[in-house]
Structure 1
C-alpha cells in the first residue's frame, strides 16, 4: 500500500518536471500592400500652354460643335476699359457675335461662318475682321494673338460657355435718316448706309406721330436717333424700342474728316476734367439758323447762339425739368460750361469749346 502511494507521488513529480512552457505563436510576416492613390477629381479638359497641349492632345479629339453654343465675357482692351463679347456658335457652321465697347457708344453686330481647325475656331465675316479663339476646355475659349498663340496675361482674355443657349441681344443705338412714304417707315444708318424697314409697333407709334404732325418733317428724310433691335430673320426689319428725337437740319457726319460745326450731332465726351459716361448719351447740335438744341442726359434743351469766326456766345438755355438722380450731376456741369463758352474750334475729329483759353467741353460726332 505504501509502495503504491510512493510510486504515484514519484510519477506525479516527474510529470511536473517534464512539462514545457507554452510557446508564443510565431510572428506572421507582414506584406506591405500598395496604398491605392486617390483618383483625380474629374474636371474639364483644360489646356494652359503648348506643352500641356501636346500631352493631352488626344483629349480634344472629341471637341466638335454638335449643338448651338453661347460664349460670353468681358475681354481686356489696350486702349479702352474693355469689350463685352457674346459669341453664338451654331451647329450648321454659322456664328453671330456682339461686341460692346465699355464706356463707348460703339457696338458691332457681326454674322458669318466659323471654321474649327483642331482646337482653334476661326470666325469669318465679310463686314468685320474678328479674332480667332482656341478651346482651352470644352467650356472655355481664349483669345489668340496675331501669331495664333493664346494670349497669356493677368487680364481677362477668355470667354466662358453659358449653361444654356442665349439669343443674341441685337438692340443698339442708331443714328440715321428716317422717312415715311406710303405709310411705310424706313431708316438709313449713318454708320454703314444700310436701309431697313421699321416695324409698326407700339414703340414706333410716338415716333411716327411726331414725324407726321410736324409740317417741316412730314415726307422728308430727317436725322433721327433711337434704340432699336434687328429682326432675327434676314428681312432687313428693325423694331424700335425707344425713340430719342429728330434732328432737323442735321446730316450724316463724315466718319473720317470733320471740318464744320453746324449740322452735326455731337456727343459730349468730356466736361473740363470730367469724363462723361457714354450711357448718359449727352448730345447737341448747332444749326445754321443760330439755334442749338440737344439732350443733356436727362432733359431736352434748346437756345440761341452767335458765332463770329471762332468767337462764341451762347444765350441762356431753355430746358425741360425732369429729375434724374444718376445723370443730373453731368447735366448740371454740361449746361453750366456750355453757357460759359467764349470760343469754339474743330480740332481733328473733336469739337472743343473754350473759356479763357481752357477747354471746358469736348465733343465728337455721334455715329449712333
Structure 2
C-alpha cells in the first residue's frame, strides 16, 4: 500500500510539467508500465489498430530521454523522392540532425536544443526549421503537421529508434571559396556563407598541392568542389574526403539575383526529356574569356564558345577518356547536346540551351 502511494505521487508530479533535462541529470528510473527492458532488447507497448491509432500517442506512460538516442527513417517529400532523416537526441537537452534530400545533392546538418512536452518532442534551432514529432511508442516518433497533429497517411511518416546510438554522418558535397593564407587553408561555403579551417589530412594534400603549384591560383580565393565532413567539435574544422576540382573564374551565385551566365557553376538537371540523376553531378562553367569547362559525370572537359546576344556556338569538346559504366549514358547524351546548342537563355534560376527552338539542356546554379 505504501509503495502504491509513492508511485502515484511521482506520476502526479511528472504529469504537471514538461521535461527539459539538466546538463548533468541524475539517473531516473522508469515508472511507465510496462517497464522498458535494457537495450538492445527494447520492449514496445503500442496500440496495434488502424493507421489513425498508430499515428497517435499511445497510453504507455511517460517518455524519458535519460540516455542518448538515435532515430532514422525516410519521410515523404513534395517534389523529390524523399528526405532521409537521422536525428540524435542527447540527454543533456541538445540534438543534432541530418536531412538528406534524395537525388538532389542537398544535405542539411542542424544542431539545437530539444524540449519534451508530454509525448511531443520539439526540435529548436537557429540554423534551420526542423519539424516536431510525437512519440507513438517508446521506439517510434511520428511527424506532426502544421497544426501540431500526427500526420495520418498511408505513406510512412515515422522515424524509428536504433538499438544502438549512431554517430551522425557529417560528410556532404560542398562548393565554396578555397584559399591558403600563411600555409593555413580556409573554405567558405557558397550555400550558407560559413568559413571553416581545412584540416591537413591525406585527402587534403593533393588539393593543396594543386593549388600551390598553379600560379594562377596560388594565394587567391578560388571556387572548389569537394566532399568533406565537419568536425564534431565546435571549431568548424573541415576534413576533406574527396577533392574534385577548382573552378577558376567562378564566384558564388547570388540566389536572389541571377543576372549573368558567366562565372557561375551550373549543375545539369535535364537533357532533352531525360532527368539527370544528381548523383552523377554533371556541372559546367562559362568563363568570361569565351572558354567553358566542366565535369560530365565521369570525365572533365573544356571547349571554346562564342555568344552573340542569345545565339550560341560551342566548338568541339576536349575531354579525358575515362570509362564509367554507370554514368556513360548521361555523359554522352549531355556532351552531344551541349555541342548541338545554338541558343542560350536565362529564365529565372534556369539556364536553358536550345537547338532548333527546343530545350536540349537545362541547368541550375550549383550551391554544393
Same fold, TM-score > 0.5, yes or no: yes
Q: Secondary structure at the match of 1:339?
A: helix
In the TM superposition, what is the alpha-carbon distance from 1:60 to its structure 2 partner? 2.5
SS in 2 for 1:60: coil
TM-score (norm 1): 0.86
Whole-angstrom distance in 1 between the partners of 2:94 and 2:86: 14
How many angstroms apart in 2 are the aligned matches of 1:49 and 1:95?
28
Backbone CA RMSD of aligned residues: 1.5
Aligned ranges 1:189-228 → 2 under 5 Å:
189-228=189-228
Within-5 A mapping of 1:35-46: 44-46=44-46
1:312 aligned residue = 312
Alignment of 1:36-75 (within 5 A): 44-47=44-47, 49=52, 57=59, 59-61=60-62, 63-75=63-75
Partner of 2:358: 358
| Equivalent residues in 2 for 1:139-178, closer than 5 Å | 139-178=139-178
Asked if 1 retains the 8 angstrom alpha-carbon contact of 2:55 and 2:150, the reply is no
Q: What is the aligned partner in structure 2 of residue 101 from structure 1?
A: 101
Deviation by residue 1:259-303 (Cα, 9 ceiling, x = unmatched): 111000000000000000001000000000000000000000000
User: What is aligned with 2:279?
Assistant: 279
Partners in 2 of 1:43 and 1:223 — Cα distance? 51
In structure 2, what is the equivalent of residue 268 of structure 1? 268
Structure showing greater Rg = 1
| Count of aligned pairs | 324
Tell me by how many angstroms 1:78 deviates.
1.9
Q: 1:309 to 1:151 in 2, by over 3 A?
A: same
Equivalent pair of 1:60/1:119 in contact (CA under 8 Å): no
Aligned to 2:332: 332
Q: C-alpha separation between the residues in 2 aligned to 1:167 and 1:233?
A: 13
Give the drift of 1:163: 1.0
Shift of 1:226: 0.5
Q: Secondary structure at the match of 2:234?
A: coil
Q: Using the TM superposition, give the Cα deviation of residue 345 of structure 1 relative to its aligned residue in structure 2, in angstroms.
A: 0.3
Cα 1:314–1:46, aligned 2, differ >3 Å: closer, same or farther?
same
Please list every run of 5 or more consecutive structure 1 residues that lacks an aligned counterpart in the other structure. Answer: 1-41
Q: Distance in 2 between matches of 1:108 and 1:300?
A: 28
Asked if the contact 1:222–1:250 (Cα under 8 Å) also holds between the matched residues in 2, the reply is yes
Distance, in Å, in 1 between the alignment partners of 2:208 and 2:240 is: 11
Aligned-partner Cα distance in 1 for 2:230–2:162: 23
**Cα shift readout 1:300-347 (whole Å, capped 9, x = no counterpart):** 000000000000000000000111010011000000000000000000
Looking at structure 2, the residues matched to 326 and 78 of structure 1 have their Cα atoms a distance apart, in angstroms, of 27
C-alpha separation between the residues in 2 aligned to 1:257 and 1:130? 27
Q: How big is the shift at 1:123?
A: 0.1
**C-alpha contact (below 8 Å) 1:45/1:136 kept by paired residues:** no
Q: Is the 8 A contact 2:173 2:225 kept in 1?
A: yes
C-alpha offsets along residues 215-264 of structure 1, whole Å, 9 cap, x if unaligned?
A: 01100000001000000111110100000100000000011231111000
In the superposition, the TM-score normalised over structure 2's length comes to: 0.86
Which residue is equivalent to 2:11?
none
Measure the CA separation in 2 of the matches of 1:235 and 1:104.
Answer: 28
**Structure 2: gaps of 5 or more residues:** 1-41
SS in 1 for 2:61: helix
Q: Take 2:152 and 2:244, find their aligned partners in 1: how far apart are those partners?
A: 42
- CA deviation digits over 1:12-69, x for unaligned, max 9? xxxxxxxxxxxxxxxxxxxxxxxxxxxxxx9622256479968x53x222x1101111
The residue that corresponds to 1:126 in the other structure is 126
